[in-house]
Chain A
Amino acid sequence: MSAAPERADFDLIASWVQPGERVLDLGCGDGSLLKRLIEERGAKGYGVELEDAGVLAAIGNGINVIQGNLEQGLAGFEDQTFNHVVLSRTLQTVRHTERILSEMLRVGREAVVSFPNFSYWKNRMAVMTGRMPVSEDLPYEWFDTPNLRFFTILDFEALCDKMGLVIRERQVLDEAGSQVTEEPNFLGSLAVYRLGR
């Protein structure tokens, strides 16, 4: 569960969901994204959350939350039953990276993935000065971070290429949530992708 109040990637994701579509949000936390998609976009939403506190908060928000561990894949979810499967700022916390991406595109027609870009210039600066980066999109100290994987926009796109995933759309945001068009791997703090097969 992240405490980020207004997530810039939520605006983008909301704009990609059409009324009545089925959305599965992986690592849904308290369900705030789903709540927004349901209320603003008329989506039919389900969430998966591991932590007890997140599950409890999501139930309180009226969300269809299913407690489960993404590391075990999406067993039980049927093939191609969701229009969008969302993994918002969570991919970097998952050990089985390729498996979860494959699973997302098994159960969904589209995978929506956002993650902090480790090669954002401020992160590079932090490492240059000898410290691990702490920023808006990487808000943890090295000793308490849930993040397991540190990767960049270029790294992620290389993996997509290797796995044969098609990038349908990419949006890159800076720390303020504004769109970045030039030098995204340097100027972008958060990347948001729509992926297909």
Chain B
Amino acid sequence: MAAGVGTVKAQIAHFDQPLRLRGGGVLPAFDLVYETYGTLNAARSNAILVCHALSGHHHVAGHTADEFGKPTANLGWWDNIVGPGRPLDTDRFFIVGVNNLGGCHGSTGPKSINPASGKPWGADFPMVAVVDWVHAQARLADQLGIDAWAAVMGGSLGGMQALRWTITYPERVRHAIVIAAAPNLTAENIAFNDVARQAILTDPDFHDGHYYEHGVHPWRGLRLARMLGHITYLAEDQMAEKFGRKRRPEAGSYGFDVEFEVESYLHYQGDKFAGFFDANTYLLMTRALDYFDPARVADGNLAAALGVARAGFLVVAFSSDWRFSPARSREIVHALVHNGQDVAFAEIESEHGHDSFLMDDPHYHAVVDTYLKRVKL
């Protein structure tokens, strides 16, 4: 594979006009941290916004620079699809990755200082919805001088943002690439999110969300939330193949220590995640997922909700994704067909469950690449 985008550096955009939020709250001012790859053309017509999922952020591609400008090992979460000659070809497109409001990677979120109290927002950070993220991203587009995106793209919760963009700013999105997403969450999905949140909310170190002031972090709850989430991002066959019933070398205690490889893996993933992610952000992001339902204002009629969209759509789903199954993507597709809107749909054979959208699968990447080659600048 060709080399990627190389060493990258995040930037911060400041916005001092208040942002009214769907949930009733107001952010008097806010920051968004973002990265860009490639060059914005003179016509400003080659920009692609990449929206992140539950635990993602602005660092989409390349290696983060250290304080001396040297590359670190910190590789972007979707590096395999962004770069010269890759589907999101930085020789042709200008790619923007942004950390959403409520995040914990530099954009204004629960860890930020609440100007009203001089202390971290914590649990007082207002509830944010997908549409709020889209409004904030639109302000960033304004600041970057981008009237309309060539494409807005994302997987999972990121795909929901792409969908929302086409409804909220139809004239500002020429193409939407909606991957491993759904028009809303099922009851089962909300149930998983609830268990994850309960793990955090009932952690003794949670302190009603004001744990920063206590110098602690509800990492046990966050760790459990991530372990549960992680199971739902994988597929049963994949877990069977990867771990099966394999035991750890030190197994044999007939106790409750780590005996099976799958436990070891989950513990590792949970520990790693709880070490850098913020519990309040996890609560906010899962809630934004639960509430996402653009058809709600149209009495559940998705076609009616999507009717205003002017974008062309590429919808992609993965065969083994049971968290956001292909059938959910087909709901989006058929709503668009109902309206006579432009849509292509690919269902990719994959064994990696919901996480498939992050994998470097040749056919999947060829689909995105082929679609984007069609996009006129």
Measuring CB to CB, which residues of chain A are less than 8 angstroms from any residue of chain B? 22, 44, 46, 52, 55-56, 58-60, 62-68, 76-78, 81
Contact A52 B374 (CB under 8 A): no
Contact B337 A66 (CB under 8 A): yes
Closest to B338 in A: A78
Measuring CB to CB, which residues of chain B are less than 8 angstroms from any residue of chain A? 314, 330-331, 333-334, 337-338, 340, 342-347, 349, 363, 366-367, 370-371, 373-374
Contact A58 B334 (CB under 8 A): no
Closest to A60 in B: B370
Give the contacting residue for A59; candidates B330, B331, B334, B374; CB below 8 A.
B374
A62 cross-chain contacts in B, Cβ below 8 A: 374
Considering the chains assembled together, what is the distance between the CA atoms of A62 and B175 in angstroms? 13
Contact A56 B345 (CB under 8 A): no
Contact B346 A59 (CB under 8 A): yes
Considering the chains assembled together, what is the distance between the CA atoms of A65 and B314 in angstroms? 10
B309 CB → nearest A CB, Å:
14
Query: What are 6 sample pairs from A and B whose C-beta atoms fall under 8 A apart?
Result: A55-B344, A59-B314, A64-B344, A65-B344, A76-B331, A78-B338
Contact B343 A64 (CB under 8 A): yes
A44 cross-chain contacts in B, Cβ below 8 A: 340
Contact A77 B337 (CB under 8 A): yes
Contact A66 B345 (CB under 8 A): yes
Considering the chains assembled together, what is the distance between the CA atoms of A55 and B366 in angstroms? 11
Q: How many pairs of A and B residues are in contact by the CB < 8 Å rule?
A: 55
The majority secondary structure among interface residues of chain B is: helix
Give the contacting residue for B338; candidates A63, A64, A67, A81; CB below 8 A.
A81
Contact B374 A67 (CB under 8 A): no
Give the contacting residue for B343; candidates A55, A66, A77, A81; CB below 8 A.
A66
B25 CB → nearest A CB, Å:
38
Contact A56 B374 (CB under 8 A): no
A29 CB → nearest B CB, Å:
14
Closest to B366 in A: A56
Contact B340 A63 (CB under 8 A): no
Contact A52 B363 (CB under 8 A): yes
Known: A64-B344, A66-B343, A67-B347. A56 touches B333 (CB 8 A): no
Contact A58 B338 (CB under 8 A): no
A81 cross-chain contacts in B, Cβ below 8 A: 337-338
Give the contacting residue for A55; candidates B330, B337, B340, B367; CB below 8 A.
B367
A55 cross-chain contacts in B, Cβ below 8 A: 344, 346, 367
